[in-house]
Copies of this chain bind each other. A is one copy, B any other.
């Protein structure tokens, strides 16, 4: 959860922590203007020289954080501040916007649509005058539609430069949370049905899991919302006025996602109450069966015990109609008990009724 790759306390700021399992960085470049498009994969760091002077918009996408030397070389090329590079490499950082002299850094957290286990990936976006530089933890992202729009020479994306490109990336990341949240909604609905049918304790475990995942999502979206707001409000030279309007839309999406997360959190809390009450009700039903059985048969068994005694002087034993009479008395007692419990509403029949009644109420 908090397993931040952080250097030991007291280290020099800017110390990078490279995890052994990290993927080696792979660089992809898209360079375009309304007339021209150049796309290259597996670029070497040395080939990056001169990009800053190009009059085309460049998107340098670095996937993988596993090679300190290479990362430092890239940082040198783009004159990244040591603390900025630290924030890129020592993931996860809290989403935020940091403004430097020559570029703005936007730390975000991306979820993949098929994300099981909820380990969001950090995407760091640097926006410079004529470039966007992104760092991802692993290959695989939600940016393919944007690459397609660039290849198709979408009119706005061509015209508005790095400022719009960074918005498009941010927007794609945030929109990527919608399918995830919808899945939570479906899970909660499914759980609600299961609670009615068979309230086993693993239901609670699943609710607990959903709540934990919602916490994680909230911790991703909430600061992202703040970060977008910072981009909108602050007089950031990297963000054009047109893009600012699009960011407002992006901000609204964040707020809507937060709304959804909060709603699901409250719903899951409510489900927990419903679950606990269902369990309690079932326990009550078990108790009623036990009580009814015991209350009917214990007195009867006692009566049978009486006449099983071996006293010599028990005149009833010899009476002709004593046995059938006793049987009749037992039937009367049993029926009386059943009537008593029926009036209390403890008998299975009533339970069945109330269950079907419940069905009727829910599906009118």
Contacts of A273 in B (CB 8 A): 204, 208, 272
The reply to whether B286 and A346 form a contact with Cβ atoms under 8 Å apart is yes
> Which of A286-316 touch B at CB < 8 Å?
286-291, 293-295, 297-302, 304-314, 316
Contacts of A19 in B (CB 8 A): none
* Residue total for A at the interface (Cβ-Cβ under 8 A): 125
Among A9-17, A46-54, A228-236, the stretch that binds chain B is: A9-17
With A2-B185, A273-B272 as known contacts, state yes or no: A10 contacts B306, CB within 8 Å. Answer: no
> Which of A171-211 touch B at CB < 8 Å?
171-173, 175-176, 178-179, 181-182, 185, 196, 198, 200-202, 204-206, 208, 211
CB distance from A255 to the nearest CB of B (A): 6
Contacts of A281 in B (CB 8 A): 200-201, 279
Contacts of A171 in B (CB 8 A): 9-10, 13
Among A31-39, A65-73, A317-325, the stretch that binds chain B is: A317-325
Check if A43 is an interface residue, CB within 8 A of chain B.
Answer: no
19 A-B pairs in the complex with CB atoms less than 8 angstroms apart? A9-B178, A10-B168, A10-B175, A11-B145, A12-B157, A83-B246, A93-B256, A94-B259, A196-B205, A200-B357, A201-B358, A202-B354, A202-B361, A272-B273, A294-B298, A297-B298, A297-B299, A309-B323, A313-B321
- Across the two chains, which residue of chain B brings its CB closest to A178? B6
Chain A residues in the interface with B (C-beta under 8 A): 1-4, 6-13, 81, 83, 86-87, 93-94, 96, 98, 113, 142-146, 149, 154, 156-157, 168, 171-173, 175-176, 178-179, 181-182, 185, 196, 198, 200-202, 204-206, 208, 211-212, 215-216, 219, 245-246, 248-249, 252, 255-256, 259-260, 263-264, 266-267, 270-284, 286-291, 293-295, 297-302, 304-314, 316-323, 326, 345-346, 354, 357-358, 361-362
Contacts of A320 in B (CB 8 A): 313
CB distance from A319 to the nearest CB of B (A): 8
**Copies of this chain assembled into the complex:** 5
The reply to whether B185 and A1 form a contact with Cβ atoms under 8 Å apart is yes
- Across the two chains, which residue of chain B brings its CB closest to A291? B290
Q: Is the interface of A mostly helix, strand, loop or mixed?
A: helix
- CA of A3 to CA of B304 in the docked complex: distance in angstroms? 64
The reply to whether B309 and A259 form a contact with Cβ atoms under 8 Å apart is no
- Given contacts A1-B263, A13-B156, 19 further A-B pairs with CB under 8 A are A2-B182, A9-B175, A9-B178, A10-B144, A12-B156, A83-B245, A83-B246, A86-B249, A96-B252, A201-B281, A204-B273, A204-B278, A287-B287, A289-B291, A297-B299, A301-B302, A302-B304, A309-B326, A312-B318
